[in-house]
Structure 1
Amino acid sequence: MAVAVAYAGLALVLAVAGLGIGGYFVYTKSRIDPVARVDAIVVLGGDHDGRQEYGIELAQQGISRNVVLSDWLTGAEATAKYCAILDTRFVVRCVRPVPSTTRGEALFTRQLAAENGWTSILVISWRYHLPRARYIFGQCFDGEIRMRAVPRDYRRSLAAWEYTYLYQTVGYAKALLQGAC
Structure 2
Amino acid sequence: MGRRRRAVAIVVVICLGFVGILGVTGFVLFNRPHADPLTKADAIIVLGGENDGRLQYGLSLAEQGYADTVVLSNSYNDHPGDLPDFERACASGTATVTVICFVPSPFTTRGEAMYVARLAKQRNWTHVIVVSWNFHVVRADYIFRQCFGGSVTMRPVPRTYDYSPWKWATVYAYQYSALIKALVLGCDAG
Q: Which deviates more from structure 2 when the two are superposed, residues 52-61 or residues 73-82?
A: 73-82
TM-score (norm 1): 0.93
One-letter identity of the residue aligned with 1:61:
Q
1:92 is paired with a residue of what secondary structure?
strand
If the length of structure 2 is used for normalisation, what is the TM-score? 0.89
3-state SS of 2:72 partner: strand
Q: Secondary structure at the match of 1:55?
A: helix
- Deviation of 1:116 (Å): 1.1
Of all paired residues, the percent bearing the same amino acid is 40
Among 6, 16, 20, the residue aligned to 1:17: 20
Q: Which runs of 5+ in 1 are unaligned?
A: none
Report the counterpart of residue 66 of structure 2 in structure 1: 63
1:2 Cα deviation from its structure 2 partner: 4.9
- d(CA) in 1 for partners of 2:170, 2:14: 18
Q: Report the 3-state secondary structure (helix = DSSP H, G, I; strand = E; otherwise coil) of the residue aligned with 1:32.
A: coil
**Structure 2 unpaired stretches of 5+:** none
- Matches for 1:36-115 after TM superposition, within 5 Å: 36-74=39-77, 76-115=83-122
SS at 2:70's partner residue?
A: strand
Whether 2:120 is the aligned partner of 1:117: answer no
2:182 aligned partner, one-letter code = A
Distance apart, 1:114 and its partner CA: 1.1
Query: Compared with structure 1, are the counterparts of its residues 146 and 4 closer, same or farther at alpha carbon in structure 2 (3 Å cutoff)?
Result: same
Distance 1:36 1:91 in 2: 18
CA distance in 2, matches of 1:31, 1:44: 16
Deviates more, 1:134-143 or 1:25-34: 25-34
Q: Which stretch shifts more, 27-36 or 56-65?
A: 27-36
Q: Return structure 1 stretches of 4+ with deviation > 6 angstroms.
A: none
Deviation at 1:25, TM superposition (A): 1.1
Q: Distance in 1 between matches of 2:142 and 2:67?
A: 23
Aligned residues: 181
Q: Which residue of 1 aligns with 2:137?
A: 130
Which letter does structure 2 place at the counterpart of 1:71? N
RMSD: 1.5
Distance 2:8 2:33 in 1: 36
CA distance in 2: counterparts of 1:114 and 1:86, whole angstroms: 22
Distance 2:181 2:33 in 1: 19
Asked if structure 1 preserves the Cα contact closer than 8 Å seen for 2:114 and 2:187, the reply is no
Inter-partner Cα distance in structure 1 for 2:162 and 2:184: 32
Does the aligned pair in 2 maintain the 1:19–1:166 contact within 8 Å? no
Provide the C-alpha distance between the structure 2 equivalents of 1:14 and 1:119, rounded to a whole number of angstroms.
Answer: 43
- Determine whether 1:149 maps to 2:156: yes
Q: 1:68 corresponds to which letter in structure 2? A: V
Structure 2 vs 1, CA of residues 14 and 117 (structure 1 numbering), >3 Å: closer, same or farther?
A: same
SS of residue paired to 1:56: helix
